A = this chain, B = another copy of it.
Amino acid sequence: MVKQASTRPKQKGPGRPEGLSNIRDAIMDASESKFADLGYAGTTLREIAEAVNVTQALISYYFGSKYGLFQETFLRRGQKISAERIELLDSLLATGKPTVREIVRSFLSPTLALRATPQGRSFLRLQARLHTEPPEISYPLRTDAYGASTQRYVDAMRLALPTLGELDAYWRVTLMVGTYLYAFSDTHRMEEMVPKGLYDAEDTEGLIDQVTRFVTGGFEAP
């Protein structure tokens, strides 16, 4: 049922028209916004095609299917975030034994830049939604993008917290993922609840500080 990415046409090659990667990127940008707002089932290729002013046939040519487009849209940023997480963790481990707080911070920081643009925020919402999509939509993509890097963070946490059991380490990394997905995806729950003047929704440094402290406390709990 799931169309594999490997069946897609190559991005670059002889005979491809100029500006192809721009068109591909524009299609993925529109896809990111639509899937983020409407979910997988609620989004049609027709709407995406209209938003970019291309034909549905062109989208099918580049991405194979709706799922192929969803997949590439998610992996475009997901794989980059994952690679940055591994790089940051490697740097930390190279300089000694990192603290829980440093590990949490290196997990979160690759997604922070995405908060700066509307398109990046669409990805964060898309990613939060992905976890509530039916299994056949979400599982292969999550594992593909994040399986390896998340395992590295489980291992790093067990190094930093030698008394933490293996199952507890998996649990706490999973709960860290849930916490940050919610906090970073513009749910606007804070704006609704907090008395006026106390909370600044644009304070991204405040956001990462709050999530880092909460999650670090969660990891260090008995």
Contacts and interface: CB of A to CB of B under 8 A. Distances in A.
A187 B131 contact: yes
A181 B125 CA distance: 15
Contact of A214 (B125, B171, B190, B194): B171
Given A194-B170, A210-B168, A187 B218 contact: no
A132 B217 CA distance: 26
Interface stretch (A17-25, A34-42, A56-64, A79-87): A34-42
A202 interface: no
A215 interface: yes
Interface string A200-212: 0000000000110
Copies of this polypeptide in the complex:
2
A107 interface: no
Given A132-B185, A210-B175, A166 B42 contact: no
Contacts of A198: 166-167, 170
Contacts of A132: 36, 125, 128-129, 132, 185, 187
A15 interface: no
19 contacts: A37-B134, A39-B42, A41-B42, A42-B42, A125-B132, A131-B185, A131-B189, A139-B188, A143-B192, A168-B210, A170-B193, A171-B210, A172-B214, A174-B190, A175-B211, A178-B181, A217-B220, A218-B221, A220-B221
Interface of A: 36-43, 125, 128-129, 131-132, 134-135, 138-139, 142-143, 147, 150-151, 154, 166-168, 170-175, 177-179, 181-183, 185, 187-190, 192-195, 198-199, 210-211, 213-222
